[in-house]
Amino acid sequence: MSKKTYVITGATSGIGNTLVKEFCKNNTVFAGYRNEKYVDELEKLGAIPFYIDMEKKDSIAKAAAFIKSQTETIDTIINVAGCVVAGVMEKLDVNEIRKQFEINTFSHLDFTQRLLPLLVNGKIINISSMASYGIFPFVGPYCASKRALDILFNSMAIESNIKVISVKPGVIATPLWGKSVQLNKKSIENCKNHEKEMQYMVANAEKNEKNGLDVHKVTDLIVKIDSLDNPKSSYTVGNDAKFAQFVSKLPQDWINKLVKCGIKAKVSSVK
Ligand SMILES: NC(=O)c1ccc[n+]([C@@H]2O[C@H](COP(=O)([O-])OP(=O)(O)OC[C@H]3O[C@@H](n4cnc5c(N)ncnc54)[C@H](OP(=O)(O)O)[C@@H]3O)[C@@H](O)[C@H]2O)c1
């Protein structure tokens, strides 16, 4: 197989880091980090690290300029970086929701647009989520940011000949879950009348980090998608994600009733 060039954001942990390890075996991989402490590790893997903070427009511009200075072509851009903003919608600070969209949605579009001239006959693979099906309460910003990511990039695919693939995993065992509890500390405390629900969300996040699907279930699929000439536009990974996809097709009132009942049952088990 000929050597290819990959650009991967969120390359320091979980899904992104596993992809770097896989693709570095035979290829050129540009690997995005936001914390200097990962640079050595990425270099040891054989990747070319680049700094990118998805919240900072100038860092996105500099990252794209750096990549353009190093290569003339890119085969695949894999937009992985992301986080979860959670909380009770009646109380959530709108600036937290803006931050969620900056990190999970707008930054990826901005970064990708800057790299498009190098992506000739290439692919864009976005790590979306089952959250994109939009049925999960208390993580409304996360669901909305992933749905928006899918809609914006799908528009791009319809408007052009660019191949865009959305990968929608269910729960995967990565550090995302522990980080989300830390990131949302304020919202977890600011949840009057929904204390039990937030307690359940925290306990569930802790469980997910251990009991989620193995990360290779997603990364093996991405390697396969990357190798296909005509991949599908969307892939759903895991039974939970397939269930979310099924539920999302029901009438909205049915979805709401079903999800409310589900949450009530789960919360009643919280001591
Ligand atoms: N784990 C799941 O259950 C699951 C399910 C569906 C979809 N996803 C999606 O998969 C993607 C990867 O998540 P993961 O599970 O692999 O979690 P992870 O281990 O926490 O990895 C997230 C990556 O994104 C980076 N990142 C976060 N905020 C950033 C920012 N502001 N600027 C630059 N980089 C930033 C992180 O950097 P640091 O190392 O510095 O934190 C890390 O490299 C995310 O988009 C997530 O929404 C995950």
CA 79 / ligand 1 centre spacing (Å): 10
d(CA 208, CA 139): 15
Residue with the nearest Cα to atom 26 of ligand 1?
A: 81
Residue with the nearest Cα to atom 14 of ligand 1?
A: 14
d(CA 164, CA 152): 11
User: Which residues have CB under 8 Å from 26's CB, separation 6+?
Assistant: 1, 3
> Could you tell me if 84 and 142 are in contact, meaning their C-beta atoms sit under 8 angstroms apart?
yes
User: Which residues have CB under 8 Å from 249's CB, separation 6+?
Assistant: none
Would you say the CB of residue 10 lies under 6 angstroms from ligand 1?
yes
Residue 268 confidence class, pLDDT cut points 50, 70, 90: confident
Per-residue pLDDT, 271: 66
Buried/exposed code over 173-184 (b: 16+ C-beta within 10 A; e: otherwise): bbebbebbbebb
Residue among 123, 104, 111, 108 at smallest CA distance from 224: 123
28-33/48-51 β-pairing: parallel
Pocket test for ligand 1, best of 21, 45, 59, 83 (most atoms within 8 A of CB): 83
Residue among 65, 168, 55 at smallest CA distance from 108: 55
Q: Is the pLDDT confidence value at 270 over 80?
A: no
CA 65 / ligand 1 centre spacing (Å): 23
Question: Measured between alpha carbons, how far apart are the two ends of the chain, in Å?
Answer: 55
Q: Is the pLDDT confidence value at 9 over 70?
A: yes
Would you say the CB of residue 126 lies under 6 angstroms from ligand 1?
no
Closest atom, ligand 1, to C-alpha of 212: 3
Closest atom, ligand 1, to C-alpha of 146: 47
Would you say the CB of residue 140 lies under 6 angstroms from ligand 1?
no
CA 271 / ligand 1 centre spacing (Å): 30
CA 223 / ligand 1 centre spacing (Å): 18
* Total Cβ atoms within 10 A of residue 167: 23
Tell me which amino acid residue 58 is. Answer: D
Residue 40 confidence class, pLDDT cut points 50, 70, 90: very high
Residue 2 confidence class, pLDDT cut points 50, 70, 90: confident
Residue among 56, 96, 62, 101 at smallest CA distance from 82: 101
The runs of H, that is alpha helices, within 45-105 are 57-70, 94-101
Residue with the nearest Cα to atom 18 of ligand 1?
A: 176
> Could you tell me if 172 and 215 are in contact, meaning their C-beta atoms sit under 8 angstroms apart?
yes
State the pTM of this model.
0.97
- CA dist 252 to 133, 144, 195, 257, 258, Å? 12, 16, 26, 9, 10
Mean pLDDT of 12-34: 98
CA 177 / ligand 1 centre spacing (Å): 9
Q: Give tens-digit pLDDT for 201-256.
A: 999 999 999 999 999 999 999 999 999 999 999 999 999 999 999 999 999 999 99
Residue with the nearest Cα to atom 31 of ligand 1?
A: 54
Would you say the CB of residue 205 lies under 6 angstroms from ligand 1?
no
Residue with the nearest Cα to atom 27 of ligand 1?
A: 82
Closest atom, ligand 1, to C-alpha of 53: 32
d(CA 137, CA 169): 18
Assigned token pair, 146? 């992933």
Q: Give tens-digit pLDDT for 126-147.
A: 999 999 999 999 999 999 999 9
Mean pLDDT of 56-79: 98
> Could you tell me if 15 and 37 are in contact, meaning their C-beta atoms sit under 8 angstroms apart?
no
